[in-house]
Amino acid sequence: VLLSRAMHAMYIFGNASTILDSNKSGNWETVIEYFNEENLIGDYLPLSCKNHKNLQKISCLDDWIKVPNNGCTLKCDSLLICGHPCTLNCHPEAILSHDSNEYCFQIIDILRPCGHVVK
């Protein structure tokens, strides 16, 4: 069922030898053989930020802690509609949109018609 349900990608974390050693039904032997033939077994999971194009390699549990959100540790810096850069950590646009000023934290001076300046 696992193999037939994967629509876009599938990652199996573990040791292929250990999986084969505990493989009572023999199903995993075919899967791992196919993965080997197609060069799909590796030592890490590559994560790439769509915004900054940087690559993070996940090879152990501690690596997941180092890459919050979508795998990027840089600042977003995309422009908000007010023209200021987003100061949040990098995030997918689908999760947090830049089409509002909700996340603008810039302090600016606004000159009122009466002559007073407000921040």
Each residue's pLDDT tens digit, 64-105? 887 776 678 888 888 888 888 888 888 776 556 677 667 777
**Structure confidence at residue 37 (pLDDT):** 93
Distance between CA atoms of 70 and 86, rounded to whole angstroms? 16
**Structure confidence at residue 106 (pLDDT):** 76
**Structure confidence at residue 94 (pLDDT):** 57
Mean pLDDT, the chain, as a whole number? Answer: 80
Query: Are the CB atoms for 84 and 104 separated by under 8 Å?
Result: yes
Query: Are the CB atoms for 54 and 48 separated by under 8 Å?
Result: yes
| b/e per residue 71-87 (b: at least 16 CB within 10 A) | bbeeebeeebeeeeebe
Instruction: Give the 3-state secondary structure of residue 16.
Output: helix
12-36 average pLDDT score: 83
